[in-house]
Chain A
Amino acid sequence: MNHDVVERMVKAANPVPDHTVFEAPAVDFLLADDERRTEVETIQKDKAGPEPSRKSWGRLVPIASAIAAVVVVVIGLMAITSSDDVAGGDPIAEAESLVAAWGSYDLSVLNSIPDEADVSNEDWHNVDRTTLEDEMLYRQAVDWPFEVTECSQSIVSTGEGDPPVRCTVSHDPSWTRAQGLGPYPAEATVRFADGEVVEFRVSLDTSFAEEFFFPLRTWLSLEYPDEMTTLYPVSRTYTLIDAEARELWAEVTAAYIAQLDG
């Protein structure tokens, strides 16, 4: 058997002789454009819509992407509060309180979201109480608090309701804290209308994902290859935060920090 024959046989055995059979994931999952953000999520209290599935919402995570270099979590809550705790109060103080509660996993913040709040559609641009609770519990599981630095109110209203209150926020999850990398800047926006919260957004800076989420994901893919589908959805764009994922996130976070210490 001469070498030309061998070469032909080897070529014939190529498991993927034609790379064009593949459809590579859209580049945006690796590199979003200058926004590089994980969308805007909106709840509209009076807008009718289908009941979101628990599974679906478990995948819709306002947490930094493993791939994107900029991560912005935006949670818009439209006309969600009927409580008195914001009505008539100082919007700056109320906004600070709201963001601080969210940042410290104070689930009472969920009380400002009525049960009847509907979700406008089923893609991940939306969030409901369940998702927000999952997200807060997820951060609690991995020890990822946010702290408010300062809040101020714009003098111009660019949308519905009062001028927005913007709070500078810092965050330093356990993963980066263990490496002395953080804290990282973020910004929270809270907007009131008639004394009620109509918008609540938190945007994270790009450097966070660059410095931590990518290396973490690489480490996880090597050490926990069988668990990746529990930690990340198929798109690999976000982290999963349902109860099962949270339990595993707590476990792998501890392991990750332990190997850093080791």
Chain B
Amino acid sequence: MVEPANNQEAFKRLYEKYSTRVLAYCVRRIGPDLAHDALAETFLVAWRRFDDLPGGEDNLPYLYGVASKVLSNSRRSSLRRSRLASRLQSLGVDHTADASTYVIQSDQNRRVLAAIAQLGKKDQEILMLYTWEEVSREKIAEMMGMTKPAVDQRIHRCYKRLARTFGNADVEPTSLPRVAKKGGEA
């Protein structure tokens, strides 16, 4: 089974354009150790369903949706669940695997992440898509099969809950993350 060469080239372009974004998406949710596996699985699905890709700028939300399903499938494994729990715990912590690649998180950011982890899974996903992946609310609604007002409401509810949590947790709203690139200083 050999796919047409033009499909291969188009797929390569797709991968080159979006792979790091999808990888970041995965790292944000399961940490770096398993993210590469998820990235590979995501693009494997994309390759198999290449003809179904929406095209243009819609490809990235589509890939996020695939990655979400890949991660969701991963969570079905009990082994994976326990690993995920630890990943979520460590999400905001320097990771020993390649700490230089990731944000050097402050204690405050860890508390913010811990608060996010207390939200419902769907709320977490919507919040992360909006704030971290910078997907528009309209697109999130499309991705999640919801109406935009429903997404607005979810985000509003997330902020409200987080504000309540932050208000009780002595979190300063002024911190900025420090980003360290490979081989560079934080």
Contacts and interface: CB of A to CB of B under 8 A. Distances in A.
Contacts of A30: 15, 40, 43-44, 47
Nearest to A33: B8
Nearest to A14: B132
Chain B residues touching A, range: 35 or more
B21 interface: yes
- For the complex of A and B, the 5 pairs showing the least CB-CB separation, nearest first, are A24-B19, A19-B24, A13-B112, A13-B109, A3-B159
A225 B163 contact: no
Contact residues of B: prevailing secondary structure: helix
Interface in B41-98: 41, 43-44, 47-48, 73-74, 76-77, 79-80, 83, 91-92
A2 B162 CA distance: 10
Interface string A127-140: 00000000000000
21 contacts: A1-B167, A3-B159, A3-B163, A6-B159, A10-B162, A13-B110, A13-B177, A16-B28, A19-B24, A21-B101, A21-B181, A22-B101, A23-B20, A30-B40, A31-B8, A33-B5, A34-B5, A34-B8, A66-B40, A205-B1, A224-B79
Given A21-B101, A27-B12, A214-B44, A7 B159 contact: yes
Contacts of A36: 2
Interface of B: 1-3, 5, 8, 11-12, 15-16, 19-21, 23-24, 27-28, 34, 36-37, 39-41, 43-44, 47-48, 73-74, 76-77, 79-80, 83, 91-92, 101-103, 105, 108-110, 112-113, 116, 127, 131-132, 156, 159-160, 162-163, 166-167, 171, 173, 175-177, 179-182
A16 B131 CA distance: 12
B156 A1 contact: no
A37 to B, nearest CB: 11
B20 A22 contact: yes
Interface string A7-21: 111111111111111
B79 A223 contact: yes
Contacts of B163: 1-3, 5-6
B182 A12 contact: no
A225 B80 contact: yes
A34 B19 CA distance: 21
Given A14-B131, A27-B12, A69-B3, 15 more contacts: A6-B173, A10-B127, A14-B177, A16-B102, A17-B132, A19-B20, A19-B21, A21-B102, A21-B179, A25-B19, A30-B43, A33-B8, A34-B8, A70-B2, A236-B37
Interface string A47-81: 00000000000000000001101100000000000
A126 interface: no
Nearest to A18: B179
Contacts of A34: 2, 5, 8
A155 to B, nearest CB: 27
A33 B116 CA distance: 42
A228 interface: yes
A210 interface: yes
Given A1-B173, A31-B12, A24 B23 contact: yes
A8 B24 CA distance: 19
Given A12-B109, A13-B112, A225-B79, A6 B2 contact: no
A104 B43 CA distance: 35
A131 B10 CA distance: 36
A92 B59 CA distance: 52
Contacts of A14: 28, 103, 131-132, 177
B171 to A, nearest CB: 7
A207 interface: yes
Contacts of A19: 20-21, 23-24
Contacts of B40: 25, 29-30, 66-67, 236
